[in-house]
Chains A and B, each alone.
Chain A
Amino acid sequence: MIVFDHVTKKFGDVIAVNDLSFEIRDGETVMLLGPSGCGKTTTLKMINRLIEHTSGTILVDGKDIEKEDPVQLRRSMGYVIQQAGLFPHLTVGDNIGTVPRLLGWKPARIRDRIVELVELVDLDPAILPRLPRELSGGQQQRVGVARALAADPPVMLMDEPFGALDPITRQRLQEELRRLQQRVKKTIVFVTHDVEEAVTLGDRIAVLNVGGVLEQFDRPARILGRPANAFVADFLGKDRQLRRLSLMSVADADLLPESAEGLPEVPSSSNLRSALDEMLETGRRRLAVRDSDGTIKGVLTLESIMQMSRAI
């Protein structure tokens, strides 16, 4: 667990993070979301002491990080940055093995771990002897994630890791990170300015305002449905109800046990946003919901979608 207790950071007279208090639970993914100048990266870097906070307390697993050795502290946390920040003179394999080497693992154990990680992040082991510049941006970022995971740290700090990638690669890496997270169950603190990314990846989202003010900290569905104030509503954009629908599964809606004869179909695994899109596409207010085993589960109506969107 990571606890911020009245944490403030000043650069000279400028307040970057203002009296921040919140808790990040073990195994959850928390997104730090906000415009530039909101102190989200500063907040992240205070966790591994790349930036020292001015006042307040940060606890990691109950221990005050100010009393820890910063070098040891950083080795216990994975760190992924934009553009990957790979060491250009080291091979992909040596990049991934960086932290295990620092921790003094035996070479054989490091080799085994590198092979394991390359598979985990879905890279071809043939790239291990290559240099980072020979890889595509997406591949470099996968290597960056593998490097951060190398020593199996409980905490992963990710600073806009997918920010410089093209939209398609970014989306694919986001999906992979989600799948990866289901397997490795890390505590992830993830900085982004992209609402879509925050909503897709986050268990909870901390919305920060310029000057490092925490405006709202909650689950994506609640933040989208009940923005705490005008800033949050504005930052999330005009389509937040649609985004919210994308977080809800068709299977969770109230389905009517009516005849589905002749209705357009949606799979029960899809989300309400896709279902609404299907209604707009076909001009029908009713859709047949088909389960993965092929049976029709019932009928989804426009009314039940609207009902869901109002429920919090």
Chain B
Amino acid sequence: MSELAALAAGTQPRESRISIGRLVGVPAVIVAAYALVGWELLQRPLNVREVTVLNFHDISRAFGQHLLLTFTALTIALVIALPLGVLLSRSAGIVRAAVFTFANLSQAIPSVALLGLAYVFLGSGPKPAIFALSAFSVLPILRNTVVGLTSIDPAVTEAARGMGMSPLQGLFTVELPLALPVIFAGVRTAVVLNISSATLATFIGGGGLGDILDAGINSNLGRVTLVGAVLVSSLAMFVDWVASLIEAELETRT
């Protein structure tokens, strides 16, 4: 059915909102960045100091650590933010306002400072890094959960109640599915934020791709810095890209 015919028939064409540009643009940029790095590395062989960082073992370990930091923190943030968001969406406006004032305020703390605080109280290693990253990613998820749940058409939630759904049935079968695109947008923000902030974990011994960048900068090794920068940026871009596709798909469904 053509779009016009569909509109005339009172229906909306339910096609995906994902454009070709969105589908291939980001991967193209990532591939180009890797090509640039490859070309740069092929100019001359790696010297001894570069090889101590730029080897498969160390890079894959740093990459793995980075993912672990990011997604562990994300999981913890989800476990905290989702139930809290559901509770807040049902609480009085004044409680909500108080929580968000506090949350927004804490968001103003620079991530390096928060990492520093985590280091002071929890010592070095990945654990304090994960703590700081979780604390940071709670807010976007919390805010979007509350916004998603409170912006549902009241007629729909009332219908759910009127049909005889228990509060939990209404939450899981009607409210959360309807709020999902908004909640997921918060998750996307949080995870991208986490990937970039996790780069700083290296300063408190948390590992991750920051290790490579830090080694490159400290030892004045341009090519090492380049590899570290491209790895972490492309990871952030890639995850954001995947998340944007999921988000677009969720939006077309609800």
Contacts and interface: CB of A to CB of B under 8 A. Distances in A.
A102 B162 contact: no
B159 interface: yes
B159 A74 contact: no
Nearest to A127: B11
Interface in A60-103: 71-76, 79, 81-89, 98-99, 102
Contact of A99 (B155, B158, B163, B253): B163
Interface string B216-254: 000000000000000000000000000000000000011
Interface in B111-168: 153, 155-156, 158-166
B169 interface: yes
A295 interface: no
B163 A102 contact: yes
A172 interface: no
B177 A89 contact: yes
B106 interface: no
A79 B162 contact: yes
Contacts of A147: 163
Interface string B170-182: 0000100110000
A75 B164 contact: yes
B166 to A, nearest CB: 5
A86 B254 contact: no
Contacts of B12: 133-134
A88 B178 CA distance: 8
Contacts of B253: 89
Nearest to B159: A85
A48 B156 CA distance: 16
Contact of B10 (A71, A86, A134): A134
Given A134-B14, A135-B10, A81 B254 contact: no
Nearest to A147: B163
A50 interface: yes
Contacts of B161: 50, 74
A136 interface: yes
Interface residues of B, number: 22
A74 B164 CA distance: 5
A169 to B, nearest CB: 12
Interface in A118-169: 130-131, 133-136, 147, 157
Contacts of B174: 87, 89
B158 to A, nearest CB: 6
B182 to A, nearest CB: 13
Nearest to B154: A85
A281 to B, nearest CB: 37
Given A134-B11, A136-B10, A87 B160 contact: yes
Nearest to B167: A71
A170 B203 CA distance: 69
A72 B166 CA distance: 9
A68 to B, nearest CB: 11
A87 B14 contact: no
A71 B164 contact: yes
A72 B28 CA distance: 56
A74 B161 CA distance: 8
A85 B154 CA distance: 8
A81 B154 CA distance: 11
A102 B174 CA distance: 13
A82 B153 CA distance: 12
Given A87-B174, A130-B11, A131-B14, A102 B155 contact: no
Contacts of A79: 159, 162-163
Contacts of B178: 87-89
Contacts of B177: 89
Contacts of B159: 79, 81, 84-87
Contacts of A88: 153, 156, 178, 254
Interface string A31-55: 0000000000000000010100000
Contacts of B160: 87
Q: Which of B160, B163, B254 has the most CB of A within 10 A?
A: B163
A99 B177 CA distance: 18
Given A71-B164, A71-B166, 8 more contacts: A81-B155, A85-B156, A86-B156, A88-B178, A89-B174, A102-B164, A134-B10, A147-B163
Sort A-B residue pairs by CB-CB distance and give the 5 closest, nearest first.
A85-B159, A75-B164, A74-B164, A79-B162, A85-B155
Interface of B: 10-12, 14, 153, 155-156, 158-166, 169, 174, 177-178, 253-254
Interface of A: 48, 50, 71-76, 79, 81-89, 98-99, 102, 130-131, 133-136, 147, 157
25 contacts: A50-B162, A72-B164, A73-B164, A74-B162, A74-B163, A76-B164, A79-B159, A81-B158, A81-B159, A83-B155, A85-B158, A85-B159, A85-B162, A87-B159, A88-B153, A88-B178, A89-B177, A89-B253, A99-B163, A99-B164, A131-B14, A133-B12, A134-B11, A134-B12, A136-B10
